[in-house]
Structure 1
């Protein structure tokens, strides 16, 4: 019994202490000022507004300084002398300008142009070895060209004339190829473009020197009054080096044309140096290539 009594007395003491502490805290809460929280919040807001006011005053002072600088610059500009009026460029009469660029040799009916010639022989001639070239490449005769492409026009002369055959007109195209503008049958231009691309890569100096003396030209062969030139079908092109024409019929050629001939022969073109009357600047589509295009429906 004594042990139980001791436990009861101990628990009573602990409970009394807890109750005393709780009642003490409760009494403190009832004694606190109910407006204390509001006062704290107002104090914080006033401090924040005061900080913002100080920041605005600082910005205002900065703006005043900038305005003073602008005012000083305006006064300097007002005191400076006025600028001199700009001089207008003189009016030039186009008719008074001398033409320094000669006109091209000719322009075909579609705008294909041939460049001007330069005076003087800018390429070294060399003797031809005809047997080295045109191997397995046959020149298409006018009869073959008529069979595949039709008659370009009804009459011819020794000067260029427009093509009138509707079928041939449909097959012709004008295009810039390797820096020269040519009118030829469409697949010939495609082939020529491939040749020029290879030439530019492998022989850039010769590529840069290439010009033309014309492509499409419905006329007789030079020196003939009955044989129609392959130029009339847009199947041939005359090429120059450094705008210098190769002399026809002298059995010699510019060495750069020999290099060109190798590229054209490999692509199926015939080189005019193989004619009985040598024409080294002349390159035309070979018969086999022409028939191949016709079979493929490209003409």
Structure 2
């Protein structure tokens, strides 16, 4: 019951944050004018929820806060959009869904206003939101048919609890280090709490760094510390058997990821991750290789995971940003 209470609190808190997100958003057209690129496509999010893509034809009355605006050309015509109506505006080539994550690994980039929902393997569903450029929160839950939703981990005895897998992740982004207008390094600290089932909880504390390139590619490094128990008993009803997941307490682990855009297609990129669960055991590692197809609001990932235990697993991921 306590767990369900905490999830309810998180749900209502999320609604409050979404409803007040405009408080944390502001755009300065004066600053935009300094970095504005002629004939480039931009995307504008308005505070009323509308979104437009097009080119900026010019800036109007920037010295008057009430009249400060831009002339914006879209496929449907040219509009005058006032500064106090704008929630966010960026170059379209920078609007790549998911630069706050690679596949499983987060990056140090904040979610900001790119709130999203998604699905791993069509068997787990998750979502995330950001507060300004400093806090990112994601949460997810599986719907695995082989794991009972109300059963003991080692027997078929019905108990109160949930034997699915759940995760809550919080990430605090630090001030970025800029090398130019288009390249930077972001840093972040965070923690995630996961439930392998009702009885098993796993806590990780992590530090991240991400290098962002001019073409919106990024490379990330992660160091994380495992806290909690060392063994996790699991029951798989589909196989009528149980097994133990070993993940030693008090260990350090590392990971690296990359999202590299193809020069000929900005909507297509190579994604890769490498994970090591314990730096004292290099063989406890796996690697993911895949492709990401990104749109303005939707991205899909397809790849393969190769493990040192000599098996591979196809993976897919779909994300809708809004």
Q: Which TM-score tier does this pair reach, normalised by the shorter chain?
A: under 0.3
Higher relative contact order (CA 8 A, sep 6+): 1
Taking structure 1 as the reference length, what is the TM-score of the superposition?
Answer: 0.21
Structure (1/2) with the larger helix percentage: 1
TM-score by length of 2: 0.20
Larger strand share, 1 or 2: 2
Give the greater-gyration-radius structure (CA).
1
